[in-house]
Amino acid sequence: MNTSIAANEGAHAGGEGPLSFWESAMRWTLSVDHKKLGIMYICAGMVFFLIGGLEAALMRLQLARANAGIIDPETFNQLFTMHGTTMVFLVGMPVLLGFGNFLIPLMVGARDMAFPRLNAFGFWLFIFGGLLLYFSYIGSEGLYGAPGAPDVGWFAYAPLTSRTFSRGNSTDYWILGIMVSGFGSMTTAINFIATVLCMRCPGMKLMRMPMIAWMMLVVAALVLVAVPVLTAAQVMLLLDRSLGAHFFDPQTQGSAVLWQHLFWFFGHPEVYILVLPAFGFVSEILPVFSRKAIFGYSLMVAATVGIGFIALGVWAHHMFVVGMGPVLDSFFAASTFLISVPTGIKIFNWLGTMWGGRLRFATPMLFVTGFVAMFIIGGLTGIMLATVPMDWQLSDSYFVVGHFHYVLFGGTVFGIFAAIFYWFPKATGRMLNEHLGKWCFWLLFIGFTMTFMPMHISGILGMPRRIYTYEADRGFEIWNLISSIGVPVQMAGVLCFLWNVVKSLRNGAIAGDDPWDAWTLEWSTSSPPPEWNFDRIPTCTSARPLWDKKHPEDPDAHYE
Amino acid sequence: MQRKFDPIMSSATMPTTTQLTTLRAPLQRAKVGMASLIFMESAFFAAFLVTYLYYIGKSPNGPQPIDCLELGPVLVNSVCLIASSFTVMLAVKSLARGSISGFRAWMLVTVLLGLEFLVGTGIEWRSLMIDKGLTIQSNAFGTNYYALVGFHAFHVTLGLLMLMGTLVLSLFGCINPRRDHVRVDILTWYWHFVDVVWIFVFMLVYVIGRVPQGGAL
The reply to whether B127 falls in a domain is yes
Output b/e per residue, A339-350; b: 16+ Cβ within 10 A: bbebbebbbebb
Domain that residue B211 falls in: 70-217
* Cα–Cα distance measured from residue B188 to residue A537, given in angstroms and rounded to the nearest whole number: 33
For B43, the closest of A191, A225, A255 (CB atoms) is A225
**A235 at the B interface (CB within 8 A)?**
yes
Residues facing A430 on adjacent strands: A510
- The CATH number linked to B213 is 1.20.120.80
B107: nearest Cα among B86, B81, B87: B87
How close B132 gets to chain A, by Cα (Å)?
17
- Kindly indicate the confidence band of residue A374, based on its pLDDT and cuts at 50, 70 and 90: very high
Residue A202 and residue B18: Cβ atoms within 8 Å? yes
What is the pLDDT, as a whole number, of residue A145?
Answer: 62
Mean pLDDT confidence for A541-550: 90
- Please write the tens of the pLDDT for every residue from A309-351: 999 999 999 999 999 999 999 999 999 999 999 999 999 999 9
How many helices (H) and strands (E) are present in chain A, helices listed first?
18, 0
Residue A202 and residue B137: Cβ atoms within 8 Å? no
**A195 at the B interface (CB within 8 A)?**
yes
What is the pLDDT, as a whole number, of residue A2?
Answer: 40
What is the pLDDT, as a whole number, of residue A454?
Answer: 97
Query: How is residue A510 annotated by DSSP?
Result: B
What is the pLDDT, as a whole number, of residue B22?
Answer: 47
Number of compact structural domains in chain B: 1
Is the entire prediction scored with pTM above 0.90? yes
* Cα–Cα distance measured from residue B68 to residue A256, given in angstroms and rounded to the nearest whole number: 27
Residues 350-389 of A with CB under 8 A from B: none
Query: How is residue A558 annotated by DSSP?
Result: G
State the best of B4, B6, B16, B32 to mutate against chain A, taking most chain A CBs within 10 Å: B32
Residue B107 predicted with pLDDT over 60: yes
Size of interface A-B (CB pairs under 8 A): 126
- Please write the tens of the pLDDT for every residue from B5-27: 444 334 434 444 444 444 445 56
Long-range CB pairs of A57-63 (<8 Å, 24+ gap) are A57/A487, A57/A491, A59/A83, A60/A451, A60/A483, A60/A484, A60/A487, A61/A484, A61/A487, A62/A468, A62/A469, A63/A469, A63/A470, A63/A480, A63/A483, A63/A484
Question: Which residues, at least 6 apart from B50, have a Cβ–Cβ distance to it below 8 Å?
Answer: none
Residue A243 and residue B140: Cβ atoms within 8 Å? no
The reply to whether B191 falls in a domain is yes
Name the superfamily (CATH) of residues A31-559: Cytochrome c oxidase-like, subunit I domain (1.20.210.10)
* Cα–Cα distance measured from residue B45 to residue A307, given in angstroms and rounded to the nearest whole number: 24
Residue B32 and residue A114: Cβ atoms within 8 Å? yes
For residue A169, count other CB atoms closer than 10 A to its CB: 22
In DSSP notation, chain B reads: ------HHHHHHHS-HHHHHHHHHHHHHHHHHHHHHHHHHHHHHHHHHHHHHHHHTT---SS--HHHH--HHHHHHHHHHHHHHHHHHHHHHHHHHHT-HHHHHHHHHHHHHHHHHHHHHHHHHHHHHHHTS---TTT-HHHHHHHHHHHHHHHHHHHHHHHHHHHHHHHHTT---HHHHHHHHHHHHHHHHHHHHHHHHHHIIIIIGGGPPTT---
Residue of B nearest to A15 (CA): B2
For residue A173, count other CB atoms closer than 10 A to its CB: 21
**B109 at the A interface (CB within 8 A)?**
no
Least confidently predicted of A135-144, A151-160, B63-72: A135-144
What is the pLDDT, as a whole number, of residue A52?
Answer: 96
Residues facing A503 on adjacent strands: none
Q: Write down how long chain A is.
A: 560
Helix ranges (H only) for A244-362 are 256-290, 297-310, 326-354
- Please write the tens of the pLDDT for every residue from A469-494: 999 989 999 999 999 999 999 999 99
B189: nearest Cα among B98, B103, B88, B80: B88
Residue A239 and residue B143: Cβ atoms within 8 Å? yes
Query: How is residue A293 annotated by DSSP?
Result: P
- Please write the tens of the pLDDT for every residue from A399-412: 999 999 999 999 99
Percentage with pLDDT > 70 across chain B? 84
Least confidently predicted of A13-27, A56-70, A437-451: A13-27
The reply to whether B75 falls in a domain is yes
The reply to whether B177 falls in a domain is yes
The reply to whether B146 falls in a domain is yes
| Domain edges within chain A | 31-559
For A531, the closest of B5, B44, B59 (CB atoms) is B5
Residues 127-156 of B with CB under 8 A from A: 136-137, 139-140, 143-144, 146-147, 151
SS3 A379: helix
Termini Cα distance of chain B: 74
Residue of B nearest to A228 (CA): B44
Residue A224 and residue B39: Cβ atoms within 8 Å? yes
C-alpha distance from residue B115 to each of A414, B45, B159, B160 (Å) = 54, 22, 11, 8
Question: Which residues, at least 6 apart from A315, have a Cβ–Cβ distance to it below 8 Å?
Answer: A261, A264, A265, A267, A268, A269, A332
Say which residue, B179 or A391, is predicted with more confidence.
Answer: A391
Residues 110-149 of A with CB under 8 A from B: 114-115, 118
Query: How is residue A65 annotated by DSSP?
Result: S
- Kindly indicate the confidence band of residue B189, based on its pLDDT and cuts at 50, 70 and 90: very high
Mean pLDDT confidence for A11-37: 80
Residue of A nearest to B52 (CA): A247
A278: nearest Cα among A188, A443, A409, A181: A409
What is the pLDDT, as a whole number, of residue A17?
Answer: 63
Question: Which residues, at least 6 apart from A452, have a Cβ–Cβ distance to it below 8 Å?
Answer: A401, A402, A405, A406, A409, A410, A483, A486
How close B58 gets to chain A, by Cα (Å)?
7
Residue B3 and residue A535: Cβ atoms within 8 Å? yes
Question: Which residues, at least 6 apart from A198, have a Cβ–Cβ distance to it below 8 Å?
Answer: A114, B25, B28, B29, B32
Mean pLDDT of chain A: 92
Q: Tell me if A267 sits within 8 A of A273, measured CB to CB.
A: no
List of chain B residues whose C-beta atoms are within 8 Å of the C-beta of residue A265: 47
Mean pLDDT confidence for B95-123: 96
Residues facing A397 on adjacent strands: A464
Percentage with pLDDT > 90 across chain A? 85
